[in-house]
Every structure is written in structure tokens, then in C-alpha cells.
Structure 1
């Protein structure tokens, strides 16, 4: 049963910003509205200074999402703005303010805004994607403590983050898995998807999707692609996503391993309306991460009903049951190659696909909202 209607402000990335966090917040706003709440997204006028942003652009080229109230107010690097926005939001007397937290860089602005709110009237909830960042820097823990000290409770998307939060705060925590990303269109028949991308209709394709960052372990997958049995099997890798790191490093590795002809690179940002074709074309989605908490890529794979290979890190094993919805492996290129070969040689498409369709029922937005409402 949903809680009584609340006036909710959701702080974090949203349109016109692009990427998984913006997509998550927008989809959560829809789900909260469906549950009867009044929701306003409060996003950034400046999210990252250009010199700190590793990609080509922070902004979406898509149309604004319909049916959402989105206000651009927060300047992530201007302390005067944090005080002003916090006091402005205080005057609105919201019942709940949910602040999305994913990296310590955002702790000063979000923590300061939360501190301006009237905690006698407004409940302050931290929606914590990561409390300890994948790519760590000095001062991370101090900054995260500044954010957590301003929150009355927390929502996490994995038990690993919940356990890490215990070192930062004794406030109540609720956990529910990252729901399915179902806002990228319907599934596409593999033949149609491959034709759209100019691929062989009868080919065998793995998919690495999303921003290419150091912690995502792409080199492990590239090393697996160099396995002689992989080459013999005719498997190719679709590399789809923008480099957020050392592009030259990965391209040099492909050349050194002699696998350039096995990699189909689409290394620019993938527009929302193109996502379904990449997942439609793939047989298996590979996430060879070095560290992880949860992953929106897994939830895209569930939406498009694709089996996965994930490494045994963070919350990924919670999301992908081994042998049912895919493979859970150690961070080992040979084990990754063995899993891929098993998938094709033993024709696991149907059995693992059935497991994916069963597991995806766990990841509804309504369940996520019901868990979140326990903190209200």
C-alpha cells in the first residue's frame, strides 16, 4: 500500500543533462507520481565544470521528458548558490527531499542544501548509488560524511552499499535493487537490429555498453577476445559507448592483442532511441567490472531480455544469478572466455533467456517506490 500523498523534491541530474543518473531520476519521478505523490525534479544549472567532465558533452540532444516538473537551480561549485537554493526550497515546505548521491564531488552542494531545510517538517533522504566511489581520491570519506550527516535516512540499490553506509551513519536504511530501465523503447528483433547497425544477420555478438571507464574492466574483455577459441568461434564484440578515460590505452591493447578486426566500435554517446538496437543485436551482455555496486546496464539487459556475464564484485551477483540469468565469474580473462564459449557451444540462449524473463519480475519500479516510502 502506498503512503499518503507527499510533496517531494528530487535533487540530482535530470534533463537537459544526459546519462544513466538523469534517466534514473526521471524514471523514479514518474514512478513516484504513479504512486500519487507530487514530484519536482531540482537539477543543475552547472553540474561539472567542463575541465572536470571526461566526455564530449553533458547535455542531451533528446526532447525533454513529458509530464515532469524539472527546475534547473543548483550550481555544483558555487557555495552562495547552495545557501540560496536551500533556503528557497525550505520556503516550499516539502514533505520529503530526496537527494541522489553518487560521488563525493557532489557532497558539499547537496549536503549544504539539505542543511538549510526545516528538518521538523521535511524529511531528508539520501538516495545513495555509491558511498565509496569506484575511482577513489583523497578526501572522499570526509566529503561523504558531510553528506550523510545531513540526511535522516537512506535508500540504497544494493546490500554492498548498505553495508558500506554503516561506517558513515546510523540513520535508517532501506534497500531495493535497481529497477529495470524500461524507458528506452521496446525490444527489437535481432535481425532488424543487426540490419539497422549494419551487422551480419547470422553473426555472434557480445555487447559492452556504456561509458568506458577504468573501473569497468574493458581490458579483461579484450584479453578474453584474444583467446584462440573465441576467434575460432566467430564471436565479435560490439563496443558501444563514449570513452571516459584513456582511449589510446584500449586501442593500443586491441592492436597488441591482434583483435581489432573482432571489435565493432561505436565509441560515441549512444542516443536513447538507438539503445534498443545495440541490445537487440547482441546475444550476451558482458560487464567485466573491477568494482561495482549495482549497474544500470544490467537493468537494460533485463529490459531487453539478454543474458549477461558479470564479475563477482559489489552487488552484481545479487542481480544476475549464476547459471540462471547468465554467468558470474572472477576477474579472469580465461574464465570469461570459457563462459562465452559455453554460451554458444551449448546453445544456452533459450535456457538463460527464460531465466532472465523470470528474474526481471523482481525489478519493478513499484516495488522500489514501496520500499522507498518506508522511509517517509
Structure 2
């Protein structure tokens, strides 16, 4: 059900103090200990995360636990739907989320779509704030071109890496270098073919593996722009990382991007439009005043973890 190499961060978790790592979502025999810990805490609110159908059995179990304990439960839906969902995945998602009273999303568009799926639920929204608990860069990576671009995160078809590579192939004579950093769930051969046929092999580095938080910090520090050419999206943790490292974003006009990417913080383009993306990237490569650092700082001040927590707790 989960095609990635691992769902666990291999680095020390110093950036998450006072966290008890007692949940093993793939091992139901560990769940009773989670239930006992929740009962001992006697919380006002239980919060559980959803972003892949892999976690549906655990969420179903937590949902029943919350009812037995008489506790409020909010499910944060990082993906409203699996972007390449098979019919059985949709059914399992509906089983996990269908009778939840409170759901929480990170984009206004997906608040609307989730409301259509589950009209009886109370649905609240807050964009993902900057991930300010992530590490600072610990070394300066060498620059390889006038414009350094970064595509970061798990590589899945809906994220449009093929669209980005086709757009860059049209700019093959420009001075840029793209880093693709993230594990591909479907193999890399199709992307490697586009890179080769597009004549940009010397301008693209592909790191087809899980990227640690410290390595990510160094990659973001080097980048001049973060490129998110998604075909569809809900909220975006990568956009939140870009905010944290004060980097502008070139993104498709889908999902949560429309809530945080605006003139000053980046450029929005029509999803799937290779020409539009190539034009936006050409503008980035031209340099000049295509974004405003003050606008990124203002967005970070507006979208905070405190404001997210307040919205999450609100009834």
C-alpha cells in the first residue's frame, strides 16, 4: 500500500522535542499502547493526520477510540484524495473519513471539494505555515549555473515533473541547472528519457532517494526558485519549506498554491501548460525583480503555527 522506501525520518529528531514515537501505523499490535497513552492524557482534542490510504486502518481505529473515550477528533487531510486513486482506495478513504465530524485542510479549493464529498462534516482551513523548525543550512553547495532550480519531494505523476522537464527542454540554451531531489514511486526511466531527448542531461541532477532534512536545507539554500508544476494539489509541504527558507515559488494554479503564491512570493501558471511554465522559468532566468523578499516575509508573518492551532481548535 505504501510504495516508498520508508515512512520514517532517519535523522535525530532534535527539532521535535518532547515527542513520544509510540505509533507504528503498520503494526496494529502497537496500537493498544497508543490507546492507553491517550486515555492517560485525557486530552480535549485528538488530532490525526491523513495523506495516504496506507494510514486508513489506523485512522479508523483512532476514530473508534475517540468515540469510546468521548473525545473530539479532527483529521487533518493533507491530500483530500489520492491523486492517482483506484476504486478500492476511494472506498477505503470514504470508510476512514466518511463519518468524521471534523476535518481540516490546507487550501480553500479543497475545503470546497471535501465539503462536496462529506457534506455532514465541519471543515476548516488554514494554509501550511513555514516549516520554521527545520534545520538551517550547514554548508554552502557549489553553484553550477546562473539560475539554480529545485524540484523537491516524493516524485509522483500528479506532481508534473515531466511537464517541468519538457518546459526546460525548450530552454536548453539558457544558463540553468535543475536539481530533482526525492524518491520516485514509479521509477525514473520515463524522466531520464525526457532529459536525454530534450538535450538537458548536463543541466539536470536527479537524486532518486529520500532526502534528509539537513540535505534539504542545503538544497533550498542554493536554489533561486522552487518549481512545483503539479497537475493537482491540496496543501503543499514543499511550498511551506520554500517559505521557511525565504525562497520564491513557480507553481501551478491548483490547490493550496493559490492561497500562498501571489505576486511577490512567486509565479502561478496554468496547470499542465508547458509553454506557460517555460515562459515563467524564462522570466526567472532573466533575473530582475520577479519576486519581493518582503512579500515572502509578510506571508510568513500572516501564516503562523499559532494561527493554524487556533483554527484547528475552533469549534
Contact kept in structure 2, 1:90 and 1:118, CA below 8 Å = no
Asked if residue 88 in structure 1 is aligned to residue 36 in structure 2, the reply is yes
Consecutive unaligned residues in structure 2, runs of 5 or more: none
Partner of 1:266: 207
**1:135-146 aligned within 5 A:** 135-146=84-95
Partner of 2:305: 365
CA distance in 2, matches of 1:250, 1:207: 15
CA distance in 2, matches of 1:150, 1:115: 11
CA distance in 1, matches of 2:141, 2:62: 47
Asked if residue 62 in structure 1 is aligned to residue 11 in structure 2, the reply is yes
1:110 partner SS: helix
Contact kept in structure 1, 2:140 and 2:222, CA below 8 Å = yes
Partner of 1:354: 294
Decide which of 255, 261, 276 is 1:314's aligned counterpart.
255
Q: Which moved more, 1:301-310 or 1:351-360?
A: 351-360
State the shift of 1:328 in Å. Answer: 0.6
Contact kept in structure 2, 1:284 and 1:306, CA below 8 Å = yes
CA distance in 2, matches of 1:327, 1:310: 6
CA distance in 2, matches of 1:185, 1:116: 35
CA distance in 1, matches of 2:161, 2:293: 24
Contact kept in structure 2, 1:86 and 1:114, CA below 8 Å = no
Call closer, same or farther: CA 1:71–1:242 in 2, change over 3 Å.
closer
**1:157-172 aligned within 5 A:** 157-166=106-115, 167-172=117-122
Q: CA deviation digits over 1:134-190, x for unaligned, max 9?
A: 1211133332232224533122111222112222241322211111111222368xx
Q: CA RMSD in A?
A: 2.4
CA distance in 2, matches of 1:53, 1:107: 12
Partner of 1:37: none
Partner of 1:15: none
Contact kept in structure 2, 1:205 and 1:236, CA below 8 Å = yes
Call closer, same or farther: CA 1:108–1:59 in 2, change over 3 Å.
closer
Call closer, same or farther: CA 1:147–1:250 in 2, change over 3 Å.
same
Contact kept in structure 2, 1:239 and 1:266, CA below 8 Å = yes
Contact kept in structure 1, 2:172 and 2:199, CA below 8 Å = no
CA distance in 1, matches of 2:21, 2:244: 29
Q: CA deviation digits over 1:179-220, x for unaligned, max 9?
A: 1111222368xxx6333xxx33x6321111111111111011
Q: CA deviation digits over 1:241-283, x for unaligned, max 9?
A: 2222221111122112221111022332221112121111111
2:307 partner SS: helix
2:149 partner SS: strand
Contact kept in structure 1, 2:22 and 2:34, CA below 8 Å = no
Consecutive unaligned residues in structure 1, runs of 5 or more: 1-51
Asked if residue 111 in structure 1 is aligned to residue 54 in structure 2, the reply is no
1:193 partner SS: coil
Contact kept in structure 1, 2:231 and 2:254, CA below 8 Å = yes
CA distance in 2, matches of 1:328, 1:126: 29
State the shift of 1:72 in Å. Answer: 2.1
CA distance in 1, matches of 2:30, 2:264: 49
State the shift of 1:85 in Å. Answer: 5.6
**1:160-239 aligned within 5 A:** 160-166=109-115, 167-186=117-136, 193-195=140-142, 199-200=143-144, 203-227=146-170, 230-239=171-180
CA distance in 2, matches of 1:91, 1:59: 26
2:80 partner SS: coil
